[in-house]
Amino acid sequence: MLLTGPEKTGKSYEAAKGSGSDLIGRTYWIEIGGTEGTADYYGRVPGADYEIVEHEGSYQDILDAIRWVNAQPRIDGKPNLLVIDSMTSLWDMLSDEIALFARNRAIRKAQRNRSRVPTLDDPVVVDSDLWNRAKDRWGAVLWMLRRHHGPCLLIARQEIVTAFENDKPTRNTTRKVKAEKNLPAAVDAVVELHSLGEAWLTGVRTLHMKIQPGETQRFPDFSVDSLLRRLGLQDAAETRSVSELRPDADLQEHGQQTSQAEPRPATARQAPALTGAQAAGLIRDALMHPTEPETALRELRVEYGRRTLKAVHTDTGWGRMSADALITKSLDHLKEKADEAAGEHGVQPGEHSDPVGQAHGQQETPAADEPASLEEGTPPSDPAEEPSVSEQPEQPEEISEAEEPQDLPRPRPAQVNKANKVLAVLLTEAEIQARILGMTMQEHLEAVSGLDEGTPPPMTKLRKHVIDHRPAVIGLLEERGEREIANAYRLAGKPELKIAQIFATLYTDLATVG
């Protein structure tokens, strides 16, 4: 249900008053927007009975708060009411986010082209791909709201704007919801509060009341309780089936394998429920991921939400802890194992501490033997007692005799160890980026180069450098019409062992590292 109207027309007041309806088991209030500040204040409204769900103000934490509300049980068999105040602030936050992203993109482009960097007073164009990103994040919120086991009351501001006819302004005015434009079409009922005590039902999807399509009805003595009764909440089923549209295009160009996440539940009845044993099993499976255990752990946290994981406790070799704390502990352990493996290759501890990047250059991931520490009564494994990741002695690199920056050495796989293999892949990608950006290798790596001329940068700095420049390279590829290569590069690993194969059609002189 969408409750909209100009400011100070009683939207939040009516929501607080409606939380005391006897049709509702429990009401959860998610307040978005620091300037509102009404959740605490309206708790003194007669009959108000709701719980304020706290969050950090970020998009992911707001989504996590909704996910947590969806997992709460019914009270006395009655559905729970979820109040979002307000959807206007949520859309404003997403709009500000992409505006900031567009400004940072313009600054990077100006630095790359050595032109004037735009100031805060200079207008910046927000490209359509950023608006699509904001709409995707907005759609994820609506999808999570559809999975709620009870009614959702969405509050949004309404503006009175000039009416247009044939793309020309007229003397008439109309009302417009200040949020994403498709919000009225996504809800089951729209109630407009024109002033205090004046409510109009402007749109509804129901079989419990007689109303013609396009008809607007005055709603005398409006209240949330009366709206729920007119919509037939007392006769409604416990939940309704909802299915998410999941585009399934083939994006496996140039041999790139698109990682498929676990499908979401098909219906709202299948809301994720988790026990301690299940959580330990899921974390153990994530740690056994053949290539990217860190990414698998983070995806597990996104899928179930930190609130749900904090409420589930399990016994491990580290002691009894929540599933969320166990994921954090596992991530720290992966980092320690990566530092240890990097030290064996002559890299300073902490210089290459990314388990995801390290996994691409090793046959065994640092977490291969970790799941044993998740069994009850089994202590966590000591990194000092575990076998070395690589038993083979290091072999010296072959250094190219060429002195040109574009010809930095690319070691052959038969003559290097696994760490140098990853370094060679990163140098190959850096060379490709330099060519596309129209600069020399020395200019491209100037910010991360070592003190000695011709010495490759540290592996961690080099990896971060090439990943940070990927968006700019992808943008130039799309401008040149190389969309297939741009899509393949967008899906590339970090690092990507087949980087030379992706760009083989553009540069045939690249060495293949494999």
Domain boundary among the residues 235, 261, 285 is at 235
Q: Residue 40: pLDDT band by 50, 70, 90 thresholds? A: confident
Q: Is the pLDDT of residue 333 over 50?
A: yes
Q: What is the pTM of this model?
A: 0.52
Same domain, 353 and 431: no
Same domain, 304 and 412: no
pLDDT tens per residue, range 358-369: 333 333 333 334
Give the total number of structural domains in the chain: 3
Same domain, 296 and 185: no
Query: Does some domain include residue 249?
Result: no
Same domain, 23 and 163: yes
Same domain, 231 and 145: yes
Query: Does some domain include residue 115?
Result: no
Contact between 432 and 510 (Cβ < 8 Å): yes
Same domain, 229 and 303: no
Same domain, 412 and 496: yes
Same domain, 158 and 225: yes
Closest CA to 205 of 160, 243, 240: 240
H/E stretch holding 491 = none
Residue 136 sits in a domain whose CATH number is 3.40.50.300
Same domain, 54 and 202: yes
pLDDT of residue 34: 61
Q: Is the pLDDT of residue 260 over 80?
A: no
Q: Residue 453: pLDDT band by 50, 70, 90 thresholds? A: low
Q: What is the mean pLDDT of residues 139-158?
A: 92
Same domain, 369 and 281: yes
47: tokens are 């009959």
Same domain, 168 and 299: no
Q: Residue 409: pLDDT band by 50, 70, 90 thresholds? A: very low
pLDDT of residue 68: 92
Q: What is the mean pLDDT of residues 117-123?
A: 85
pLDDT of residue 358: 38
Q: Is the pLDDT of residue 357 over 90?
A: no
How much is the mean pLDDT over the chain? 77
Give how far Cα 508 sits from Cα of 129, 296, 501, Å: 31, 35, 9
Query: Does some domain include residue 508?
Result: no
Query: Does some domain include residue 250?
Result: no
Query: Does some domain include residue 252?
Result: no
Same domain, 458 and 345: no
Task: Residue 300: give the domain boundaries.
Answer: 272-385
pLDDT tens per residue, range 228-242: 998 888 776 665 666
Give how far Cα 353 sits from Cα of 33, 278, 289, Å: 37, 29, 18
